[in-house]
Structure 1
């Protein structure tokens, strides 16, 4: 098991992902808000009281961010990203926890180090898809594991899948769906029933973007937020078949444009937490929720911190909403990495 001998204070500059496939990650501090979804005039009517509990400030994994996580076989799993042992480089580390707060190092070097990847449970396996390595190269391999120790590569880059990164993967209609930035300025959607053979559902879902979030909610796929070049979005796109996509028109005020946020289905609601619109002074630590994706409410109670939160992970776990790690940009222009794990319950 890895240990941390001293308190780690790790600060590094966040880089924003370029949409050009032949370029590595670069920072663009001139991202502007997309105003395609106006805010409504009617204030939200539903409110909740949230209880924030710090499960740990830092455990064996240390500070961590940009990883992918999933709950599988009674454990929480974390794969890749950056942590105390790899900083400033990315890692290929696999960690597990039986309670969400105490972590065990399971394995590493079973695949390339990466960020912008996804970890999804499907067909009683964990599926690791895509990402970028330390050199900014797009990774096209797809791996699965039934124990977190042994990982099998089932396929590699193909003309259809085209090495996704900063995409989303969901399980819908008994298939894996990969939603990713595409070509000709449009998002593309692919599906697979075995993780090996992929079908192109559409190459013109909606305007191009990356670093968005996707959830399955009320028998539909929703894609939320994201960025493209110098614009970020607060758009919500909906599909009931993965082929036809429609822009959702909110009935209320809605969260500001953002990327590097989380969207999580929990307690019959979709929760949006954190993210950034452009430069660090537009990093968010707000909490929004909706029961129908059209009426949105911003939590207006005490917040767990005044710092923004980006490139974290969120899971619905043990009947609470859990937030794991992430970067917390501050006034100095840096983005310290945190090992804090919080659980959130509704009072």
Structure 2
């Protein structure tokens, strides 16, 4: 009887411990939801720069840098080549005025206005890598600058051209250009939807990386950059219609690679909607997918620590948009301007009392 009583007592204790453990897990899950961790703050509802979409967004030498962009209702040549900078997201200064105005513009002395180009901080400089086809040709040039005002033409014609809507990141001490496409309706070129990978250690000499199967389908239209856990991440994306392919593709699958050769699919259909012209980022140990377009502008925000399990951050206070400018700057994730065509500035910060894992 004593042994039975002892066993019963042990079982009761184990049962109580198990119940207590499940309660702790539930509480932990509650306090570590995105809504408990983060909040959006309006920093400047109307910054002094022109509303725009597709502008470059770089964090460099303790400042935010907004580079170029598209606004066909205000710009005669559709895109600008101005540069704005801010130390705090509230106060902005024009570092370089828009000089992309007349047909006498010299594209060897300054970069043409553009949007949805590749933008990166690399070797202690800001880089513009490629561009768009809106001037009737492909901007396959590469520029860099250490002050945002004076720019150096590094390479007049990159070997991976012609292309637009490519994805650009810095990883493993190299610049990477991934995917994209030609856009024959805007600039002459054979139709091509790319699923290739290129990298360079100096921005001048480029190497094509031969990716192995399985691999992601041809795509581009991904803004920002997501490099996390020593890997490059492709989060969704899509293709733009062409005369021969008059429909767009929209994706939400998740892939990553450490070397551009071997790719791993982490999620075939995560809970966030397929999209293009969205922004991605790596912030606070998480991958982030923000806004975008799929038949309409969006303002949903999603995050994941591993690319497989995703949570939505509810209650986005800023307006739906696509082709925005997302910064990771001073312990915050920033959302600036975009296709809402307002010059608003927001930041996502950790709540002071958020419990960390």
**TM-score per shorter chain, which class?**
0.7 to 0.9
2:304 — aligned with what? 290
- Any stretches of 5+ residues in structure 1 without a counterpart? 1-43, 329-336
Matched, 1:231 2:249: yes
Alignment equivalent of 1:187, drawn from 192, 195, 204: 195
2:266 aligns to what?
Answer: 248
Change over 3 Å in CA distance of 1:164–1:126 after alignment to 2: farther
Task: Please say if residues 322 and 342 of structure 1, whose CA atoms lie closer than 8 Å, have aligned partners that are also in contact.
Answer: yes
Structure 2 residue aligned with 1:201: 209
- Structure 1 residues 17-36: aligned runs within 5 Å: none
Structure 2 residue aligned with 1:75, among 46, 63, 66?
A: 63
| Residues 1:118 and 2:130 are matched in the alignment | no
CA separation of 1:57 and 1:88: change in aligned 2, threshold 3 A: farther
1:55 corresponds to 2:43:
yes
State the Cα distance separating 1:114 from its structure 2 match. Answer: 0.6
Match of 1:271 among 280, 288, 313: 288
Report the Cα distance in structure 2 between the residues aligned to 1:174 and 1:221, rounded to whole angstroms. 12
**Are 1:81 and 1:92, in contact at CA under 8 Å, matched by a contact in 2?**
yes
Give the structure-1-normalised TM-score: 0.77
1:51, 1:345 within 8 Å by CA — same for their partners in 2? yes
- Residues 212 and 225, structure 1, Cα contact 8 Å, conserved in 2: yes
Residue 323 of structure 1 deviates from its aligned partner by 0.4
In the TM superposition, residue 152 of structure 1 has moved relative to its aligned partner by: 0.7
Bigger Rg, which one: 2
Give 1:227 deviation, angstroms: 1.1
What CA distance in whole angstroms lies between the structure 2 residues aligned with 1:226 and 1:174? 25
Which residue does 1:323 correspond to in 2?
335
SS at 1:248 equivalent: strand
Aligned equivalents of 1:185, 1:56: Cα separation in 2:
38
Whether the aligned pair in 2 keeps the contact of 1:234 and 1:255 (CA below 8 Å) is: yes
1:247-273 per-residue CA deviation (whole Å, 9 max, x = no partner) reads 2236x9421100111111111111111
Mapped contact 1:55–1:341 kept (Cα < 8 A):
yes
1:167 counterpart residue number:
166
1:339 alignment partner, SS class:
coil
Q: Secondary structure at the match of 1:121?
A: strand
More helix by percentage: 2
Q: How far does residue 185 in structure 1 lie from its aligned partner after superposition?
A: 4.8
| 3-state SS, counterpart of residue 79 of structure 2 | coil
Change (3 A) 1:133 1:237: same
Deviation at 1:113, TM superposition (A): 0.8
Report the count of equivalent residues.
289
**Greater RCO structure (CA 8 Å; 6+ sep):** 1
- Where does structure 2 lack aligned partners over 5 or more consecutive residues? 1-28, 100-109, 182-190, 242-247, 352-357
Match of 1:314 in 2: 326
**Aligned with residue 106 of structure 1, among 61, 82, 95:** 95
Normalising by the residue count of structure 2, what TM-score does the alignment of the two structures yield? Answer: 0.75
SS at match of 1:286: strand
Secondary structure of 2:140's aligned partner: coil
Q: Could you say what the CA RMSD is over the residues aligned between the two structures, in angstroms?
A: 2.3
